[in-house]
Structure 1
Amino acid sequence: MEKTIHPSQVSGEVRPPCSKSYAQRALAAALLSDGETTLSNIELCDDTRYAMNVITGLGASVRQTGPTEYVIRGGLAPITDTINTGESGLATRLFTPIAALCDRRMTITGTGTMLRRPIGMMIDPLRNLGVQVRSNGYLPITVQGPLRGGETDVEAYVSSQFLTGLLMSLPLAEGDTILHVEQPNSLPYLAVTVDLASKFRIRMEHNGFREFFIPGGQHYHPAKLHIEGDWSSAAFMLVAGAIAGEVTAKRMNTLSLQADLAIIQALTKAGAVIITTPDEITVRKRELTGFDFDATQRPDLFPILAVLGANCEGTTHIRGMNRLVYKESNRAEAIVSEYTKLGMDVALEDDVMTVRGGSLSGGTIDSCNDHRIAMAAAIAALAASGPVTITNAQAVTKSYPRFWDDLDSIIRTKA
């Protein structure tokens, strides 16, 4: 699929989709609960659809009771020996330890780029916690539990997603667990995990996310949850407002624990006009200046921050680039290889991405099958000197299936 976006002014309101990070965690908790959990404001993107299929395969009963509402009867009782997590890194690393709670052999596999993303960091901790594991460091991985608890080190520098899987599964282990976390990253995502688990009455203690104590023998209690809007998705529309007009994102928790709420900090540093209420945010265009931003804990913002920096006067420095290697693409390389086709002055050195402001041109870029590369390129087109064509534009369905419709709805006039 190709999509062409012309230089345009924007004005209007959007309602970003639900947070897929919250949704996948909530689906996992619903699976592990004793009884029926109601989840509202769930829109099915590719990742949440795979997560829904996974919990069904692991024994949950799912009933849709409204356009975005689902009732899930929990119960970990697999009806299949193989689960497929698609291209979702979170689903893979979240549901592997959950599957390992079962005293049967379970194989976890995926599709596309997920087959090339490393999962070796899961092997030793799972074995240390009583699980039999077969894997070459990539999918598929076969596990046989039960996960018993104990004490182990967990590497969380490249990703905290496996740690999230352990935090959600180990409360159901027979014994207590102590986890020693090496170089924890993505701390806001861990905060989301701890908060979500608490809503199902799960207890755990931690020391600055570097050491966790998780009592075993707990039970997930059913809950009724509204899944909040996704700041990762909202970031694209808010930058559109900052560089091309004015955009309001509705139904957004401006006090959220989500990592990508930090887009507000970046926009503030750049000088955009920002108006917030507890449940919405408006961003308006103003002369922008280069900024320094540490994205180590929020690597998903890199593509749209690069676009924001390119529309600023002066130089922007974005730190944390080493977190980008094992995404849907090698995201740092994709930003350079594709966005330079539009005239972006972007350079990588050590852990820093440097973007020098200047006008962008039209052109054709490949999304590299990366949803965030595609969406950021579309926003870049709004302030470019000519139209931008994005190939493999269907990649947006991974997180924001109605992105193109939402973008079309706020385009008012061609620039």
Structure 2
Amino acid sequence: MDKTVPQGRVKGTLTPPCSKSYAQRALAAALLTEGESCLRNLEYCDDTRAALRCIETLGASVRGADGGTLTIRGGLRPRGSILRVGESGLSTRLFTPIAALCDMPVTIEGEGTLLSRPMHMMTAPLRALGVEIADTGGRLPLRVRGPIRGGEVAVDGSVSSQFITGLLLALPRAERDTTLYVRRAVSTPYLDMTLATAARFGVEISQRDYEEFYIPGGQRYEPADFAIEGDWSAAAMLLVMGATAGEITVRNVSMLSKQADTAVCTALARAGAAVIHEGQAVTAAHRPLHAFEFDATHCPDLFPALAALAAAAEGVSTIRGTSRLEYKECNRAEAIRDEYAKLGIEVDTSEEDVMRIRGGAIRSARVRSYGDHRMAMSLAVAALRSDGEVEIEGAESVAKSYPDFFGDLERVRI
């Protein structure tokens, strides 16, 4: 689907969808209980639906799937042997270790861009924990058969923290205690989210500097009543929209959240935007914007939003952490460079791990999303400052995380 976004200004209040990162973790934890949990404020993007399919296949009974509140009766008793994770990288790396708790073979199948994303970081650690695993050259599909035993294991955390999240949620159910040694952990705020979710369901995990995690085995997940907070990744796009093209208040988000993308507020302030937070709402308003520096190593999902911010700022902004972008839905560093060039914005990625963006006038163009939800949203935000309109190819990709993004954009136009 192509979407044409004309220039314009925005003003209003929006509520982003729930955090799909928290939603998927909470769904996994609810599966691992032997009782009934209640998840509130749930909304259904593609990734959350993928996690919901996984827990039902692995044995959970779910009621209320058409509303914002789910009642989930847990129990890891697989009803099928194939987990269909769609294009969700988190569901893949989260539910593979959980499936490996079972003593039957389970195949994990994906689709679309996920088929080219690396899964090799799971193979050796799972084998070291006693799991039989067969993969396809480090890609999906893969097959696992447990039960996962526990013990001592080292994991490379330099590509993604998602597999570590899967281990942290699965291993409390293993028979033996586990010490997990992590090399070069990235996206550590996401690990904080995992530990917080486990604690809400009564599970204890200790850690030292994100390098060593101790997970007692034989633990029981206790049912919980869990309200899913708003998604800061989506909120970041809306706040950048306000900072570059008017004023936007985002509700159901808190600066006290453990989500990594709260850091967008730091970038907005450095760029000169007005940022006000009050309780469960944050407002960003346009002011003259200037170049900024920001390290997004631990919050790589912010890159597309920061690109739209930098494009609207005077001077050359420097954003670090591009090494985290190669294995997203597309190579986001290359995609930002190439598509923003069509808009007349110079993006330099020649220096290792650094992106430099020279802000300036944005021209009308036809651009590609590469099937990447965050690219589609970034280009739509940039379009508001164009000299006419921007046509975005593959705009339907926003359904992965924010199905009503374009509807919300139209609601706040002035």
TM-score by length of 1: 0.98
Structure 1 residue 131, shift from structure 2 partner = 0.4
1:143 maps to 2:127 = no
Partner amino acid for 1:190?
L
AA in 1 matched with 2:94: L
Shift of 1:67: 2.5
**Corresponding residue SS for 1:246:** strand
Aligned partner of 1:368 in structure 2 is 370
Match of 2:359 in 1: 357
**Structure 1 residue 158 corresponds to structure 2 residue 159:** yes
Q: Which residue does the alignment assign to 1:397?
A: 399
Deviation, 1:65, is: 7.2
| Alpha-carbon separation, structure 1, partners of 2:114 and 2:79 | 24
Superposed CA deviations along residues 58-94 of structure 1, whole A, max 9, x for unmatched, are 0000000773100000000001011111111100000
Counterpart position of 1:14: 14
3-state secondary structure, aligned to 1:316: strand
For 1:36 and 1:131, how far apart are their aligned partners in 2?
A: 29
Contact 1:309 1:355 in 2 (8 A): yes
Aligned-partner SS, 2:387:
coil
Q: What is residue 116 of structure 2 aligned with on the other side? A: 116
1:216-245 CA distance string (max 9 Å, x none): 000000000100000000111111110111
Q: Does 1:190 align with 2:165?
A: no
SS at match of 1:147: coil
Q: CA deviation at 1:386?
A: 1.5
Question: How many residue pairs align between the two structures?
Answer: 412
Q: Where do 1:11-410 residues align within 5 Å?
A: 11-64=11-64, 67-135=67-135, 136-348=137-349, 349-410=351-412
Task: Give % identity.
Answer: 53
SS of 2:10's equivalent in the other structure is: strand
SS in 1 for 2:27: helix
Query: Quick one: distance in 2 between partners of 1:400 and 1:355?
Result: 26
Letter in 2 for 1:48: T
Which stretches of structure 1, 4 residues or longer, exceed 6 Å deviation after superposition?
none
Cα distance per residue 1:323-347 (max 9 Å; x no partner): 0000001111111111110111111
**Which deviations, in whole Å up to 9, do the C-alpha atoms of 1:273-329 show, x marking residues without a partner?**
111112001111000110000000000011110110111111100000000000001
User: 1:379-413: per-residue Cα shift (whole Å, max 9, x none)?
Assistant: 0011111200101100000000000110100111x
Aligned-partner Cα distance in 2 for 1:370–1:104:
34
C-alpha separation between the residues in 1 aligned to 2:90 and 2:160?
9
Letter in 2 for 1:200: F
**1:255–1:278 Cα contact (<8 Å) kept:** no
Deviation at 1:22, TM superposition (A): 0.2
Distance 1:51 1:305 in 2: 28
Letter in 1 for 2:22: Y
Q: Residue type of the partner of 2:270?
A: K
RMSD: 0.8
User: CA offset at residue 19 of structure 1?
Assistant: 0.3
Secondary structure class of the residue paired with 1:83:
strand
Answer yes or no: is the 8 Å Cα contact 1:32–1:220 preserved in 2.
Answer: yes
Q: Secondary structure at the match of 2:139?
A: coil
1:16-75 per-position Cα deviation (integer Å, ceiling 9, x unaligned): 000000000000000001100100111000000011011000000000077310000000
Q: Aligned equivalents of 2:216 and 2:67: distance in 1? A: 37
Separation in 2, partners of 1:53, 1:197: 21
C-alpha distance in structure 2 between counterparts of 1:392 and 1:66, whole Å: 27
Distance, in Å, in 1 between the alignment partners of 2:216 and 2:284 is 44
Amino acid of the structure 1 residue aligned with 2:291: G
Specify the SS of the correspondent of 1:140. strand
Partner Cα distance (1:390, 1:327) in 2: 19
Partner of 1:5: 5
DSSP 3-state at the match of 2:361: coil
Instruction: Write the letter of the residue equivalent to 2:148.
Output: L
Distance between the aligned counterparts of 2:32 and 2:354, measured in 1?
Answer: 41
Aligned 8 A contact 1:5 1:387 in 2: yes
Structure 2: gaps spanning 5 or more residues = none
| Separation in structure 2 between the aligned mates of residue 357 and residue 390 of structure 1, nearest angstrom | 20
